[in-house]
Amino acid sequence: MSELVFEVFISLTLLAAGLLTFAFRKGRNYFIGFRIGYTYMSERAWKETNTFAGLFMVVFSILLLGLALAGVGILVFTLLMLAGVVLLTVAGFRIAKKAYEEEELSIEAPEKPSEKIEVNVRPYLAIQLLGLAAYLVLLAFLWNGLPGRVAIHFSASGEPDNFASKTLGTLLFPLVVYPLFLVMTYFLKEPAFAPLLRFSRRGWKAFAEFTTAMAIGIVVIDSLVLLYNAGYITSGWIDYSVWAFLVVTFGMMFRIFWARGEGT
């Protein structure tokens, strides 16, 4: 898939998502729309948030499509797309929260969010950001020694079976995945972001540890892939790291379910 095709595909996908979100803004459902705790608990929050989200995605997708047709580079396109998604998430959450609280002041809201559980997410966010910074420093150090096309996927035998351009393979993929863990960790301090996850304080801490472990695990694997492409290590190191990552993932998931209902 060429860079232009990829950019146009993403733009049109966002456009379709925006149109669907706007079309379904008047009634809560479990499939289409900006779906978080506050929008599920308040009809007003659902309508206001999805009206904003739908219009935002339509306008933003048209902007991205124009940039794609103008020939903007894949890295700039992806960074702008990520910035827009983060802005949409944060702004949508604030709109939903404000609408719910205003409705609660005027009439008793039909549902209440669970009691706020204080989780200090700053240490976890700091660790994740330090991990990303370490990866970028390593990338800058190895940049001139990397080939024009780098391996981005390996077969079960440890041989590379998929390649991408240096910019795409070393920057695009990590920057697409990594913000997910940052956003998930940041919103842990808001009880109504995911009210169906009725965790105790210890359970939420375990979830924060999980997202942080996943983020650092991805940094380690991506860093080893960099070292492989630069010729410093063999692909065997990547195999070992992936298996270790899977073991840690299942261990952390078990810890979440074990701690989710425990007290402080």
What is the rounded CA–CA span in Å between residue 197 and residue 229?
41
The answer on pLDDT for 41 being more than 60 is: yes
Residues 6+ apart with CB under 8 A from 197: 207, 260
191 against 64, higher pLDDT = 64
The percentage of the chain sitting over the pLDDT mark of 90, rounded to a whole number, equals 44
φ, ψ dihedrals at 193, nearest 5°: -70, -40
SS3 171: helix
Collect contacts of 104-109 with beta carbons under 8 A, ≥24 apart: 109/41, 109/42
SS3 147: coil
Residues 6+ apart with CB under 8 A from 92: 34, 36, 49, 52, 53
- Given this model, what pLDDT does residue 78 score? 84
- Given this model, what pLDDT does residue 109 score? 47
pLDDT in tens, 112-138: 555 555 678 889 999 999 999 999 999
- pLDDT (average), residues 143-170: 87
The answer on pLDDT for 209 being more than 50 is: yes
Judge whether 18 and 58 are in contact, CB under 8 Å: yes
What is the rounded CA–CA span in Å between residue 128 and residue 22?
34
pLDDT in tens, 220-261: 999 999 999 999 999 899 989 999 999 999 998 888 888 765
- Given this model, what pLDDT does residue 243 score? 92
- Given this model, what pLDDT does residue 197 score? 60
244 against 40, higher pLDDT = 244
The answer on pLDDT for 66 being more than 60 is: yes
The percentage of the chain sitting over the pLDDT mark of 70, rounded to a whole number, equals 87
- Given this model, what pLDDT does residue 167 score? 83
- Given this model, what pLDDT does residue 250 score? 92
pLDDT-derived band at 1, boundaries 50, 70, 90: low
What is the rounded CA–CA span in Å between residue 36 and residue 50?
11
User: Average pLDDT over the chain, rounded to whole?
Assistant: 85
pTM of full prediction above 0.85: no
